[in-house]
Amino acid sequence: MENRKKELDKNLFRPADRTEEQSDVIARKSTTLLQDAVRSLRKNVFFMISLFLLLVIVLMSIFAPVASDYTYKEQDLNRSLMGPRIPVLEDISFLGLDGTQTKTFNGNNVQAAEMKANLQFDNQEEFITFETVSEGDGSPNSAEVKATYDKYAAKGVEDEYFYFGTDRLGRDVWTRVWDGTRVSLLIAFAAAIIDLVIGVAYGGIAAYYGGRVDNYMMRFLEVIIGIPNLVVVILMILILDPGIWAIIIALTITGWTSMARIVRGEVLKLKGHEFVLAARTLGAPNRKIIARHLVPNVMGLIIVNTMFSIPSAIFFEAFLSFIGLGLPSPAASLGTLINDGFKTLLTTPSLLVFPAVLISVLMIVFNILGDGLRDAFDPKMRK
Amino acid sequence: MAYTLFSIGDYYQIMANFATTNLGGAHVARFIGQRIIYMIITLFLIATISFVLMKLLPGSPLANADKLTEAQQEVIFEKYGLNDPIPVQYVNYLGGLVQGDLGISFKYDNRPVSDILSDRIGPSAQLGIQALIIGTVAGILLGLVSAIYHNGITDYLSTIIAVLGTSIPSFVFAGLLQFFVAVKWGILPVATWNGFEYSILPTIALAIFPMATCARFMRTEMIEVLNEDYITTARAKGLAGSAIIFKHGIRNALIPLITILGPLAVGLLTGTLVIEQIFSVPGIGEQFVTSVTSNDFPIIMGTTMFFAVVFIVMILIIDILYGLIDPRIRLSGKD
């Protein structure tokens, strides 16, 4: 501090202008709520990391299936259940991404264990390397052998790379996972936008016109809210043709209600504020009051609510696929991939791991983004 | 928030309405009456929608209609009452519902849906109750610890746990548990239902979401309560820290937790659908998923109806409980 003081020259300072007409001037442009929110979001490390991750996932889901040599529905039973193999990373042994499959087998002696390994791995003895863990003493299952099977070599496809391996039907999991991510994101975004439009319109109209309109609209809403989502979604899926749109419609048919309630509550509150009264006294038309005063003030709440509805939609889509009401095969979504992954959990867990990790990351990212936005738009949450 | 089976905001709003409209005992009765009327309207609506949808569904209810003669089909139609005019069928259907008759399964010969459900409710109820208890207790503890040591390492840790728990879908947890605990380490059975140890893994998988939700909720509530004036008063009069937390803090922070119990219980209901299938638990959820794949509509509709009733009754009970427990809500209208 001391040094600083010495460095600064006295001549740099000038007395502030204190004349009458200058004192009212606001030197700096006032920050709007949006600018303020953006600034605090930029400082939020978790938010920025999440935003970056989301961007990467979205870009990958768009470009990875296009850039891939395989398509999501191209089957080849000859190359089913290959292990994950990624160039460069395959040379780092502990990652297990070199396309080989390793498993331990027990037997009465080493030969018996090796026999079992051969049976499991297509009888391709020359492509299996054995490592004896314990010799065994002849008693049942005392010998243990670790067998590593190079299926890429056995099938003669050493120059192919299935980054995430292949599924039971020999489809490339890398392509399917990213394709599925895109479908899941598409469903979630579409559902969120439809909810937003219907919810804001319904809630806004009810609150703005008030009185009897509001009363009837809210009674209707209360009945709809009373119907459990799960019930409606299942019923809708059953009568609609299975597909992306069926899921979107099923999700939106009850999804808009919470947005409508929130918007109505907020607009009702804002309507009573003095600035709206002032605008009305000055003769501003309805349209202008809505556009200039109500919408910008409700915006933060709408953005936050939409942000939270996206992960819920992703989850619900996966849930529906899981209970057999999702997309029909061969289309992939994260839910159908996870469902398929469970069928081969014991033999090839990697089929479950990749989509499960992706859906978890997506959910976490969206929740952190939602939390961050809520804190940024709600001045009460500021520290 | 929009698609989870609940929205915590909704319940706050319902509670807020309750708080402002009720003016003592007579109004509590009116509130309860109003809620019950809404409940009946909603159930009637769901039943009607289910019925209409069932009639709209394409195709014959007979799986192999082309193999049967006209006369055989006639007999079957007669047996299930499918020859009556639609309004008569509708009245019969509603009448049956009121008496708890949910129809007869297509697949399991002549078995009433209500029998199938009552056979299978045991495991589902056990899982649900265990998960609800474990989840809420663990969640409350976690939330309390992080509120008391606000901004410390424990707080960050439990916040991370809470974010992961609310974000990661339960079926992913179920897969992890099954693969590591059951398959790799062999500590607990992988699946099926043969006694208490079989219920541990599904219970944990189910309990994680309520735990994380409770922890988050409890943390904010407790931090808010600890900033109230009466806590400062207690501290000023020299009350010990533990007494402040237990006598004044926890008691007041727990009350709003009741509002999220209903939604959580409903969430568990959804969870059981998936978890029961993963762990092959012979419960209602597993039956439902099987019926979806085999197109057994009476079971699908019956289970859906059953879920609707459970959901609506649960929310009603919790709303009423909340009004009775919190004196601030009971008294707020009296001035």
Question: Does B196 score more than 90 pLDDT?
Answer: no
Question: Does B212 score more than 60 pLDDT?
Answer: yes
pLDDT digits (tens, 9 = 90+) for B151-185: 888 888 888 888 899 888 888 888 888 888 888 88
B172 touches chain A (CB under 8 A): yes
Q: Which of A258, A259, A324 sits opposite B289 (nearest CB)?
A: A324
pLDDT averaged over every residue in chain A? 82
Give the pLDDT mean for A85-100.
Answer: 71
Structure tokens belonging to residue B180: 């590591």
Amino acid at A59: L
Give the pLDDT mean for A319-328.
Answer: 83
> How far is C-alpha A339 from the chain's CA centre?
17
Under the banding of pLDDT at 50, 70 and 90, the label for residue A189 is: very high
> Which domains does chain B carry?
119-297 (1.10.3720.10)
Report the pLDDT value the prediction gives residue B60, as an integer from 0 to 100. 58
Bridging pattern class, strands A143-150 and A100-107: antiparallel
CA distance B170 to chain A (A): 10
Q: CB distance A258–B53 less than 8 Å?
A: no
Q: What is the DSSP letter of A240?
A: S
B236 touches chain A (CB under 8 A): no
User: Would the pTM count as exceeding 0.90?
Assistant: no
| ipTM of the modeled complex | 0.75
A191 chain-B contacts, CB cut-off 8 A:
3
B280 touches chain A (CB under 8 A): no
Contacts 24+ apart (CB under 8 A), B258-261: B258/B318, B258/B321, B258/B322, B258/B325, B259/B8, B259/B11, B259/B12, B259/B15, B259/B318, B259/B322, B260/B6, B260/B8, B260/B11, B260/B213, B260/B214, B260/B217, B261/B132, B261/B136, B261/B318
Q: Which residues pair with A100 in a beta bridge?
A: A150
Question: pLDDT above 70 covers what percent of chain B?
Answer: 84
Rounded to whole angstroms, the Cα distance separating B311 from B25 reads 26
B41 chain-A contacts, CB cut-off 8 A:
223, 226
CA distance B315 to chain A (A): 9
ω before A65 within 30° of 0 (cis)? no
A225 touches chain B (CB under 8 A): yes
A235 chain-B contacts, CB cut-off 8 A:
49-50, 53, 304
CA distance B268 to chain A (A): 12
| B177 contacts: CB under 8 Å, gap ≥ 6 | B201, B204, B205
Q: CB distance A235–B289 less than 8 Å?
A: no
CA distance B108 to chain A (A): 20
Phi, psi (deg, nearest 5) at residue B47: -60, -45
Rounded to whole angstroms, the Cα distance separating B65 from B56 reads 18
B312 touches chain A (CB under 8 A): yes
Q: Longest Cα pair distance anywhere in chain A, in angstroms?
A: 104
Rounded to whole angstroms, the Cα distance separating A191 from A306 reads 10
The neighbour count for residue A321, using CB atoms within 10 Å, is 25
Rounded to whole angstroms, the Cα distance separating B207 from A322 reads 19
pLDDT digits (tens, 9 = 90+) for B82-134: 777 888 888 888 888 888 777 777 777 778 888 888 888 888 889 999 999 99
- Where does residue B137 rank: exposed (0-12), middle (13-18), buried (19+ CB within 10 A)? middle
Structural contact between residues A90 and A105, judged by C-beta atoms closer than 8 angstroms: no
Structure tokens belonging to residue A184: 């899941």
B2 touches chain A (CB under 8 A): yes
Structure tokens belonging to residue A366: 């969206």
Q: CB distance A322–B300 less than 8 Å?
A: no
Higher pLDDT among residues B58 and B74, named by residue: B74
Q: Which of A225, A349, A360 sits opposite B167 (nearest CB)?
A: A360
Q: CB distance A319–B169 less than 8 Å?
A: yes
Rounded to whole angstroms, the Cα distance separating A43 from A46 reads 9
Structure tokens belonging to residue A20: 């009458």
A381 touches chain B (CB under 8 A): no
Question: pLDDT above 70 covers what percent of chain A?
Answer: 94
Q: Number of H helices and number of E strands within chain B?
A: 15, 0
Q: CB distance B172–A338 less than 8 Å?
A: yes
Report the pLDDT value the prediction gives residue B10, as an integer from 0 to 100. 47
Q: CB distance B3–A312 less than 8 Å?
A: yes
pLDDT digits (tens, 9 = 90+) for B15-41: 545 444 444 556 667 777 877 887 888
Question: pLDDT above 90 covers what percent of chain B?
Answer: 8
- Where does residue B38 rank: exposed (0-12), middle (13-18), buried (19+ CB within 10 A)? middle
Structural contact between residues A286 and A230, judged by C-beta atoms closer than 8 angstroms: no
A191 touches chain B (CB under 8 A): yes
Weakest mean pLDDT among A150-159, A161-170, A353-362: A150-159
Question: pLDDT above 90 covers what percent of chain A?
Answer: 16
Question: Does A307 score more than 80 pLDDT?
Answer: yes
Report the pLDDT value the prediction gives residue B20, as an integer from 0 to 100. 47
Q: What is the DSSP letter of A15?
A: P
Angle separating helix axes A173-209 and A350-377, nearest 10 degrees: 30
Report the pLDDT value the prediction gives residue A2, as an integer from 0 to 100. 52
CA atoms within 13 A on the CB side of B155: 12
Weakest mean pLDDT among A62-66, A225-229, A245-249, B124-128: A225-229
pLDDT digits (tens, 9 = 90+) for A19-50: 777 667 777 777 777 788 888 888 889 899 99
Q: Which of A199, A342, A367 sits opposite B167 (nearest CB)?
A: A367
CA distance A201 to chain B (A): 16
Q: CB distance A227–B45 less than 8 Å?
A: yes
B183 chain-A contacts, CB cut-off 8 A:
345-346
Question: Does A176 score more than 50 pLDDT?
Answer: yes
